């Protein structure tokens, strides 16, 4: 397999010094104050590596909150300056990529709806050529492992060195326990295809409701995932998107202290 995951040097650092890798923050950036309140608490706890916040939000139907747009990039810059946390946001178009790079965002993630579209991922890969940025690829919404691998290959072929896969579960129709079915065999298959590729679990989008998150986190630890991308909001019930699945910074702290204690991660 030709895909290059994180360079040997950066992988060593991630695995040995900072396992698990944690990307935490709200589903969406809503205001500068909201980002700062959440980020200050996460920074104080010292477990979070990257602060996430979506500023361009892919919504299933129009009329829902679609993100604050470019102004959120300035807010993320301020978060980084004040807290020292690295920043992450979702990109779905080439314009998003150029804007995010202009504002020094450290990690760009490609969302599940975009990974499902090879035209879109290729355009993003072309826009990323030559950039020194970390790129996370969420699995496609549909359970098609080759499509996930293909998107990773496109980003790798553009010369991106630091690539991380994120398992956020797969859509299904009808009632089910999870918002997105975990289908753990798929990320495990990916891990075999690309040895050394770090894979994080996104328990927030798998669960859809916060009560299920600890169980999913525990499972991901047992299966050898490399960390988490997890949604955290200072007042989850007031969140403008994904309110039911976000944790408070305090809950994340407790979860991390308790559920990871006996794992080989710490
Ligand atoms: C998100 O991370 O808020 C998001 C929209 O994710 P996904 O692409 O996994 O649905
Ligand atoms: Mn979300």
Q: Which atom of ligand 1 is nearest to the CA of 139?
A: 9
Who surrounds ion ligand 2 at CB < 5 A? 27, 242
Give the helix ranges, DSSP H, for 158-199: 185-193
Q: Is the peptide bond before 20 cis (omega within 30 degrees of 0)?
A: yes
- pLDDT value of residue 3: 59
Name the residue at shortest CA distance from atom 6 of ligand 1. 111
Q: Cα–Cα–Cα angle for 53, 55, 59, nearest 5°?
A: 105
Whether 98 has a pLDDT exceeding 70, the answer reads yes
Torsion from C-alpha of 26, 32, 34, 35, nearest 10 degrees: 40
Whether 16 has a pLDDT exceeding 90, the answer reads no
CA 196 – CA 41 distance, rounded (Å) = 31
Q: What is the mean pLDDT of residues 221-235?
A: 96
Domains and CATH numbers, the chain: 8-259 (3.20.20.70)
Q: Is any ligand 1 atom within 6 A of the Cβ of residue 54?
A: yes
Q: Is any ligand 1 atom within 6 A of the Cβ of residue 136?
A: no
Name the residue at shortest CA distance from atom 4 of ligand 1. 111
Name the residue at shortest CA distance from atom 2 of ligand 1. 27
The percentage of residues in the chain with a pLDDT greater than 70, rounded to a whole number, is 90
CA of 231 to the centre of ligand 2 (A): 7
Grade residue 262 by pLDDT with cuts at 50, 70 and 90: very low
Whether 24 has a pLDDT exceeding 80, the answer reads yes
Kindly report whether the global pTM for this prediction surpasses the value 0.85. Answer: yes
| 114-153 tens-digit pLDDT | 999 999 999 999 999 999 999 999 999 999 999 999 999 9
CA of 52 to the centre of ligand 2 (A): 10
Q: Which ligand is nearest to the CA of 113?
A: 1
Grade residue 225 by pLDDT with cuts at 50, 70 and 90: very high
| 90, 166, 246: residue to mutate for ligand 1 pocket, most atoms within 8 A of CB | 90
**Residue 23, SS3?**
strand
Q: Is any ligand 1 atom within 6 A of the Cβ of residue 210?
A: no
Name the residue at shortest CA distance from atom 8 of ligand 1. 111
**Residue 247, SS3?**
strand
Q: Cα–Cα–Cα angle for 170, 86, 197, nearest 5°?
A: 45
- pLDDT value of residue 15: 38
CA of 64 to the centre of ligand 1 (A): 15
| 25-75 tens-digit pLDDT | 999 999 999 999 999 999 999 999 999 999 999 998 999 999 999 999 999
Q: Which atom of ligand 1 is nearest to the CA of 52?
A: 2
Whether 7 has a pLDDT exceeding 80, the answer reads no
Q: Which ligand is nearest to the CA of 138?
A: 1
CA 95 – CA 127 distance, rounded (Å) = 9
């Amino acid at each position: 397999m030709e895909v290059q995951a994180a360079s040997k040097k950066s992988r060593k650092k991630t695995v040995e010094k900072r396992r698990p890798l944690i990307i935490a923050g709200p589903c969406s950036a809503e205001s500068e104050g909201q980002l700062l309140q959440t980020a200050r608490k996460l920074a104080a706890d010292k477990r979070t590596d990257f602060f996430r916040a979506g500023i361009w939000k892919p919504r299933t139907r129009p009329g829902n909150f679609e993100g604050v747009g470019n102004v959120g990039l300035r807010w993320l810059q301020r978060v980084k300056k004040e807290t020292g946390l690295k920043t992450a946001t979702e990109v779905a178009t080439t314009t998003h990529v150029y804007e995010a790079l202009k504002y020094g965002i450290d990690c760009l993630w490609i969302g599940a709806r975009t990974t499902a579209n090879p035209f879109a991922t290729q355009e993003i890969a072309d826009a990323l050529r030559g950039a020194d940025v970390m790129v996370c690829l969420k699995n496609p919404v549909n359970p098609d492992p080759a499509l996930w691998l293909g998107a990773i290959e496109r980003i790798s072929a553009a010369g991106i060195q630091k690539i991380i896969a994120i398992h956020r579960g797969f859509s299904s129709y009808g009632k089910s326990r999870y918002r997105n079915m975990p289908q753990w065999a798929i990320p495990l298959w990916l891990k075999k295809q690309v040895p050394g590729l770090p894979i994080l679990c996104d328990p927030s989008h798998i669960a859809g409701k916060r009560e299920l998150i600890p169980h999913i986190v525990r499972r991901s630890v047992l299966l050898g995932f490399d960390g988490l991308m997890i949604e955290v909001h200072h007042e989850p019930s007031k969140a403008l998107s994904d309110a039911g699945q976000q944790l408070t910074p305090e809950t994340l702290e407790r979860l991390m202290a308790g559920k990871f204690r006996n794992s080989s991660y710490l």
